[in-house]
Structure 1
Amino acid sequence: MAGCQIDKSVIRPIRFFNGKAQMLDQRLLPAEEVWLNYNTYEEVAEAIRSMVVRGAPAIGVAAAIGVWFGVRDIETESTEEFYAEMEKICDVLAATRPTAVNLFWALERMKRFAHANLDRTVLELKIGLEYEALAITQEDEKLCIQLGKQGEGLIPDGARVLTHCNAGALATAGYGTALGVIRAAVDAGKKISVLADETRPFNQGSRLTAWELKKDNIPVTLICDNMAGYLMSKGEIDCVIVGADRIAANGDVANKIGTYTVAVLAKAHKIPFYVAAPMSTVDLSLSDGSLIPIEERDAREITHLKDIQLAPEGIEVRNPAFDVTPNELVTAIITERGVAEGNYQQELAALANKR
């Protein structure tokens, strides 16, 4: 995979060039802005697993692209054999990250398309799946813009907004979810400033959120994760807005580790706590957040900073990548179809049926 220069005009983590996917290597930001080329589903799976691409919506987009790349290389004229091979490809991609439901949503959408068109030729299926993957990519950016419009009214003019992790353009096909709401508020003429948690241990806040906001000339102040409570107590935070990797039917929210802590602090200080996510992140098959699988990542993310050792060798380490915020700590859930407040069980189900 070869690197190339980034197009700085628009922040998008994935783009297409000559039948290949190019992904901005988010592991290298902000020090380096490097695009990597991908051409096989195995490469895409590794990009998801190693966090070249991350963020629930962007993972879904990448997974759809991976399916497209995989089916291009299937050599058979039998649609039944084609579908069986496609399911194997989907299984490989599904094994990369367990928590982000958009991954599984995108894979199921690709499989549904293929299954509904098994009366076509294999060539027609391949072409159709290419268009489906591109449609998922284009739709994601459009719905993020719509989500931003749905939520910007909740952000008052002059607000000092705390965010955790990165739920911006880099975590989607473009524009972002939590940062999409902030961008929409700025576009509406509001003077907004952002406090970005560094979001240990992978530092998506310091490396990615601050990078995005600086590029967009939106005022941003970086803080360590354990500073949020102090600043809330001093009256320096007006609201919190975060993204999500999976939302259960009752409104419990899985997001980057540390989100639960921020939500508890916001509740204690009577500060609104908003969650912004597309409907593809809502998993109505799970009754509550206790059923959401939580990914445990490599201990080295905590014990080392690149090659610099930060902790003694041989100690026990826990590295859950996500936590679950109970619905009673969530002021509102913002989606592209509307805002859910109060009875999330009913309101999320209603939004899921809204077209």
Structure 2
Amino acid sequence: MFETIEWTSADTVRLLDQTRLPAEEVYVECRDVAAVAHAIRSMQIRGAPAIGVAGAMGLALAAQSIRTRSFEEFRAELSRHGEALRQTRPTAVNLAWGIDRMQRCVEQHKALPVAELVQSLIREAQRIREEDILDNQAIGAHGHRLIPDGAAVLTHCNAGALATAGYGTALGVIRAAHAAGTRLSVWAGETRPFLQGARLTAWELQQDGIPVTLITDNMAGHLMQRGEIDLVIVGADRIARNGDVANKIGTYTLAVLAQAHGLPFYVAAPLSTVDLSLPDGEAIPIEERDPAEVTGWAGIRTAPVGARARNPVFDMTPHRYITALITNRGVVRPPYDSGLTALAGPDLSGRV
């Protein structure tokens, strides 16, 4: 398997450039925090858990570059870099979670000399990566029994190993079911305009030998109507306390279609994606990207010159459309407020 992101022995961050897939497997080496910020903003690395890891590793790189022996100056400079990283992708709460965890590590080790504190931050960033892989495997273990034998599963965007430090959330559930011997097939929506489903999900599933068929996003309703889809599993970028979910644009449409056709609609995500500070999804910020992603692709214009376009890259799915949330600590069903709060534990206490 490929490595989505890793801390190298040369104290740099190495990540798989997802803008080059599936044509090329090219790795980018980030030597400073500015390079990590660019990688997140340009979507060389994307997916909520993955950019949480990237943010943590970016702060570790920043820590290496700070030239001071004063703890107060070190903390202030690191905080400045953290704020800059937060602004690269505002919707996915994992990014802020990773940065917050690194800043808590600073406070926990403030008695150390700065040089030793830097090493503690590097180790913390590596732990965040390792824990994310374990969390994703736990999501798969909890969720795979929700996929019946012979099921045709629809997924959207890419919530696989590429969107995480490894294994995946929605695709982690599918991988775990496949490994357990469940016969299944996957419908992958293209996920326009950035084509994460076509470029990334189809590629990942091919690597694992899991049967996958690619469809355009507007084919899902037709296939549901014909009885060719049995359930939907997607990932998430932020989950509010009441279970409202922000995820890749088009998720809300699929949730409404699934309910209209009586199909289960599952969301798979680690608890680091839960934001208990938000009572509902209305307060989740929705990122808008360059409209050029809509008016063209790969440098080729597909719309007339002068055509206006919008490019919100996430939407919000109300909790009433969601059958269950599959987390690393178990499956949560309505009411989500009490279920998520009970599972959250001390690692989310800063966002309660």
- The aligned residue for residue 319 of structure 2 is 327
What one-letter code is carried by the residue in structure 2 that aligns with 1:13?
Answer: T
Name the structure 2 match of 1:259.
251
Correspondences of 1:151-230 after superposition (within 5 Å): 151-230=143-222
Q: Is the 8 A contact 1:337 1:354 kept in 2?
A: no
Letter in 2 for 1:266: A
Residue 14 (structure 1) aligns with? 5
| RMSD of aligned Cα (Å) | 1.0
Give the aligned partner of residue 7 of structure 1.
none
Aligned to 1:93: 85
Distance in 2 separating the partners of 1:266 and 1:349: 27
TM-score w.r.t. length of structure 1 = 0.96
Does the aligned pair in 1 maintain the 2:7–2:126 contact within 8 Å? Answer: no
Pairing of 1:1-355 with structure 2 (within 5 A): 10-17=1-8, 18-353=10-345
Deviation of 1:15 (Å): 2.4
Please tell me the residue identity of whatever aligns with 1:155. Answer: I
**Aligned equivalents of 2:341, 2:3: Cα separation in 1:** 30
What's the CA shift string for 1:234-291, capped at 9, x where partnerless?
0000000000000000000000000000000000000000000000000000000000
- For the residues of structure 1 that align with 2:238 and 2:313, how far apart are their CA atoms? 13
Query: In the aligned structure 1, how far is the partner of 2:11 from the partner of 2:67?
Result: 18
Residues 26-71 of structure 1: per-residue CA shift (max 9 Å, x gap)? 0111111111111100000000000000000000000001000001
Aligned AA for 2:336? Y
Give me the whole-angstrom Cα distance separating, in 1, the residues matched to 2:90 and 2:346.
27
Q: Secondary structure at the match of 1:179?
A: helix
Q: Distance in 2 between matches of 1:90 and 1:345?
A: 30
**Aligned-pair CA distance for 1:16:** 3.2
Whether contact under 8 Å (2:7, 2:57) holds in the other structure is no
- Structure 1 counterpart SS, 2:150: coil
Do the aligned partners of residues 277 and 114 (structure 1) sit closer, same or farther apart at CA in structure 2, a change above 3 Å counting? Answer: same
Contact map agreement 2:238 2:273 (CA 8 A) in 1:
yes
1:160–1:238 Cα contact (<8 Å) kept: yes
Q: Percent identity?
A: 59
Contact 1:140 1:173 in 2 (8 A): yes
Which letter maps to 1:324? M
* Alpha-carbon distance in 2 for matches of 1:257, 1:117: 40
Going from structure 1 to structure 2, the CA distance change for 1:190 and 1:347 (only over 3 Å counts) comes to: same
Please report how far the alpha carbon of residue 353 of structure 1 lies from its aligned counterpart in structure 2 after TM superposition: 2.5
Q: Which runs of 5+ in 1 are unaligned?
A: 1-9
For residue 354 of structure 1, report the CA deviation from its aligned partner: 8.1
Q: What is the TM-score of this pair, normalised by structure 2?
A: 0.97
The count of corresponding residues between Structure 1 and Structure 2 is: 346
- Give the conservation status (yes or no) of the 8 Å contact 1:80–1:118: no
Shift of the alpha carbon at 1:296? 0.3
Per-residue deviation, 1:116: 2.0
Which residue does the alignment assign to 1:3?
A: none
Q: Which residue of the partner structure matches residue 350 of structure 2?
A: none
Moved over 4 A (4+): none
